[in-house]
Structure 1
Amino acid sequence: MELFSLEFVTALLTIVFIDLVLAGDNAIVIGLAARKLPREQQKKAIIWGTVGAVAIRAVATVLVVYLLKVPWLMVAGGVLLLWIAYKLLVDTDAHDDIQAGNTLWQSVRTIVIADAAMGVDNVIAVAGAGHGSILLVVLGLLISIPIVVWGSTLFIKLIGRFPWIVYVGSGVIAYTAAKMITHEKQLEQVFNASPAFEWAFMILVVIAVIVFGLRHNLRRAKAAQQLDNGRDSR
């Protein structure tokens, strides 16, 4: 795609937005890993831990970009990304297994290892949104460094105040997943024959993910309310 064209800028903004939406886990990991350090060392742990984590993620994402050129892996990546989009809406992990470090090095190591283990969703999402462009992926990740370091905690607060942001983020990831599937070379004849069918497929996928996620959350909220009512009646 042409540098700084509308398609390029749109894809770059999509990558940054995906990074923002998925940065919540990173902020939690960073906070938990550095919480026992003296205040003057916490900032160093956050910066070096994030730099190390982003470096590993950048290498992993570039590798995934190349892997997605293998036949049918775009479909596999798209399906996995759909699960990630759904999981974003319904996941309730408490991150209880993240241990705080007692030294700067221990905290940095914890941040890097935990982020690498938890960053699979981000890697696949960014690689899919990059449409095979290494430049797009690298630019998106570079923009994401200050976002993760300074903006992710603020974004968590925004999500807590405006829960609908998560649904928008999930929709963007689901759209990216659907686009990965439609761009699979083995399925070119299916989707390229009818642009209307391609768009209908992508819209249907986005709606399905959001509806299933919303349905799950409503059921969970109803079950929690019934449990609370049962406790109050005792």
Structure 2
Amino acid sequence: MEAILLEYLWVLVVLVFLEGLLAADNAVVMAVMVKHLPSEQQKKALFYGLLGAFIFRFVALFLITILVNYWQIQAIGAAYLLFISIKHIYDSKFKTEEEVHDEDTAPKKGKGFWATVAKVELADIAFAVDSMLAAVAIAVTLPALGNFDIGGINAGQFGVMFFGGIIGMIIMRFAAQWFVKVLNNYPDLETGAFLIVGWVGVKLAVLTLAHDGVGILPHDFPHSTPWKITFWVVLLALAVGSWLTSVAKKKKEVTGH
């Protein structure tokens, strides 16, 4: 029994670490989305956005064994993350100064408080799909604990997923506020943040293509070591690269050369 509890504790630590990494990505996106709001509304938007995501995650935990059978859910999450990533990069890199000026002087459609909250919640939900699928893949490797199920998953495995997810949400809440301050000092980090969003969208797209209902990629490919290494190496490269680029540009602006 002690060995099983130690195994559960170890998996919980792994899940908290994984949720922390995914929460950091999510926090960056949330920070970018609320940055245009006044400082008082930023905190409220983050709170309401996280509240909606928490409710979704809590309900989805009880339905996870049903959700994983529908590749369409993963596909929608992938499409949304790829859409907001591509749209932001296009707007920031390819729109002319005249188009940007016209948007700045036009009514702020979709930029209001509740519109921002809705966007934050949609992004949170898309990230939640990714993190829950990863949590399920890890939790189901644990031995059964207890003789009853919750949401189609053994109660012990469900408990590990639940507590790992809650801790991840707490990390995200505080990380998002910190990233708002960082983005105010290094605005060029926005592009790097949305490149990471797009890369997470690619990860969900790979899961979709490997789903039994689609079958374009081998079923085990998303869980293979080469793909996992590729995903994390690219993610780290995007994060470090965007940070170094932003710091260098900031330094150039300050020094003038």
Is there any run of 5+ residues in structure 2 with no aligned partner, and where? Answer: 79-84, 92-107, 141-152, 183-188, 190-195, 197-206, 208-219, 242-257
Asked whether 1:38 is paired with 2:30, we answer no
**Partner letter of residue 5 of structure 1?**
L
Give me the identity figure in percent.
Answer: 28
Given the alignment, which residue of 96, 112, 115 partners 2:124? 115
TM-score (norm 2): 0.47
Call closer, same or farther: CA 1:55–1:3 in 2, change over 3 Å: farther
**Deviation digits for residues 84-133 of structure 1 (CA, Å, limit 9, x no counterpart):** 9xxxxxxxx56718999533322211111122234321120122222242
**Deviation digits for residues 15-63 of structure 1 (CA, Å, limit 9, x no counterpart):** 2111111123311321122112111111111111112112212322332
**Partner letter of residue 37 of structure 2?**
L
**Partner letter of residue 33 of structure 1?**
M
- 1:22 alignment partner, SS class: helix
Aligned counterparts of 2:87 and 2:6: Cα–Cα separation in 1 = 39
Alignment match, 2:18: 18
Aligned counterparts of 1:39 and 1:11: Cα–Cα separation in 2 = 38
The answer to whether the Cα contact below 8 Å between 1:52 and 1:112 also exists between their aligned partners in 2 is yes
The answer to whether the Cα contact below 8 Å between 1:22 and 1:122 also exists between their aligned partners in 2 is yes
TM-score (norm 1): 0.51
The answer to whether the Cα contact below 8 Å between 2:37 and 2:113 also exists between their aligned partners in 1 is yes
**Partner letter of residue 139 of structure 1?**
F
- 1:29 alignment partner, SS class: helix
Asked whether 1:210 is paired with 2:202, we answer no
Offset of 1:6 from its aligned partner?
A: 0.8
The answer to whether the Cα contact below 8 Å between 2:45 and 2:116 also exists between their aligned partners in 1 is yes
Aligned counterparts of 1:213 and 1:29: Cα–Cα separation in 2 = 18
Asked whether 1:143 is paired with 2:160, we answer no
**Superposed CA RMSD:** 4.6
Call closer, same or farther: CA 1:134–1:66 in 2, change over 3 Å: farther
Call closer, same or farther: CA 1:21–1:11 in 2, change over 3 Å: same
- 1:5 alignment partner, SS class: helix
Aligned counterparts of 1:103 and 1:115: Cα–Cα separation in 2 = 18
- 1:36 alignment partner, SS class: coil
Alignment match, 1:6: 6
Call closer, same or farther: CA 1:7–1:48 in 2, change over 3 Å: same
Is there any run of 5+ residues in structure 1 with no aligned partner, and where? Answer: 85-92, 161-165, 167-176, 178-200, 222-234
The answer to whether the Cα contact below 8 Å between 2:43 and 2:177 also exists between their aligned partners in 1 is no
